[in-house]
Amino acid sequence: MVNGVNHLNEESGSNMNRSKKVIRLGVDVGKNTFHLVGVDEIGLPAVKKKLRRKQMLVWFANLPACLVAMEACGGSHYWAREIAKLGHEVRLISPQFVKPYVKGNKNDYKDAEGICEAAGRANMRFVTVKTVEQQGYPGVRSDSPVGGEAAYGAGQSDPRAARRVWDCGRLRDQSSPSPDSGDTGRR
């Protein structure tokens, strides 16, 4: 017993069978899988989970409101907006502030645990969650030169705009490559 709270379940001798309420959750954002580590009100591990992209919003919809922390990156802004819609408080942390809290060799669960630990610090600085417009995806913004009208004036559009795509953070023209460019068109 510590501070009047019994951490062990008397019957089984472990703390894994007791009911735990997650108050803070660290999420390591990946391309297809997400690793989550959560703690309860006294800081003991409450959840350790791996989710696929399709499972994320369903799982968070069934979780009582809590603090959710992620490393700040382009994808985490999207997930922060979606998770906040479900009633959770979402905070993004710059990766350089998470690194001191990651213990041992790097793996996804240890990263999530470090994010969770960093989010619990009183003097931690957080990144503001960006809106879609602030992230500046050219296909989404109406005032973007890539979108067409802004570059050519009102009522005019770029005939090549339909062939342009936003690919991995850079603009790429999908039209056939010129023979003298040496570009095969493949990336």
pLDDT tens-place string over residues 39-87:
999 999 999 999 999 999 999 999 999 999 999 998 999 999 999 999 9
* Percent of the chain whose predicted confidence (pLDDT) is above 90: 57
The Cα 55–Cα 61 span in angstroms is: 10
Tell me: do 115 and 148 sit in the same domain.
Answer: no
Range of the domain at 147: 136-172
Q: Do residue 110 and residue 153 come from a single domain?
A: no
What's the pLDDT score for residue 20? Answer: 78
Q: Which of the listed residues 119, 145, 180 is the one where a domain comes to its end?
A: 119
The count of C-alpha atoms lying within 13 angstroms of the C-alpha of 9, restricted to the half-sphere facing its C-beta, is 9
C-alpha 117/C-alpha 24 separation (Å) is: 9
Residue 32 sits in the same domain as residue 80 = yes
pLDDT at 74: 87
Residue 97 placed within a domain = yes
What pTM does this model have? 0.65
End-to-end CA distance of the chain: 59
| Pair (112, 33) in one structural domain | yes
The verdict on 52 and 90 lying in the same domain is yes
| Amino acid letter, residue 93 | I
CATH number at residue 73: 3.30.420.40
Name the residue with higher pLDDT: 186 or 79: 79
* Tally of domains within the chain: 2
